[in-house]
Amino acid sequence: MPLVDDDSPQVRFPPPLIYFGCLLLGLWAGRTLEWPVLVGAWPQTLGWVLVGLGSVLIGAALGWFFSAGTNPEPWKRDNALVTKGFYRITRNPMYLGMAFASFGVALVFGSFGAMIGTVVAVLLVDRFVITREERHLAHVFGEDYAAYRKRVRRWI
């Protein structure tokens, strides 16, 4: 478990591990339960496009966090409110990128189990990570965050 700063959203489990764990459980469940597999060139192509798009979202969001001098880890203190780049379109481009990449991997493998795992990961991150982060950001950045929240949707 990472060291959790007192002045942080108090997230105790890394969101990338939530996505990765749910993806692996979904792949395992689909294989174990012998669920049908989606085959063909189009699912794999779309899957790779989603993996690429997800990677771009994550990488760009990390870059904006680092350039603002704040921590991307939700168990560390926030030093700045990042509202530029993809953050003008979605309040959570990193988590959206993780969702795209995870769903893309599910398509590449043609696994319905992994697709379900991705949906579960999105729900878990939305409920147990983002809600904590939003409460914390409202406390730390007050009216600036309230105005940002009114302008920009949580996901897309």
**Nearest-angstrom CA–CA distance, 32 and 56:** 33
- Note down the domain range covering 120: 41-151
Q: Is 1 a domain residue?
A: no
Q: Is residue 88 part of a domain?
A: yes
Q: Give the Å distances, CA to CA, from 34 to 24, 37, 112.
A: 15, 8, 10
Confidence of residue 9 (pLDDT cuts 50, 70, 90): confident
Residue 24, in any domain of the structure: no
In a domain, 105, yes or no: yes
User: What's the pTM value of the predicted model, to 2 decimals?
Assistant: 0.93
Q: Is residue 19 part of a domain?
A: no
Do the domain assignments include residue 17? no
User: pLDDT tier at 1 (50, 70, 90 boundaries)?
Assistant: very low
Tally of structural domains, the chain = 1
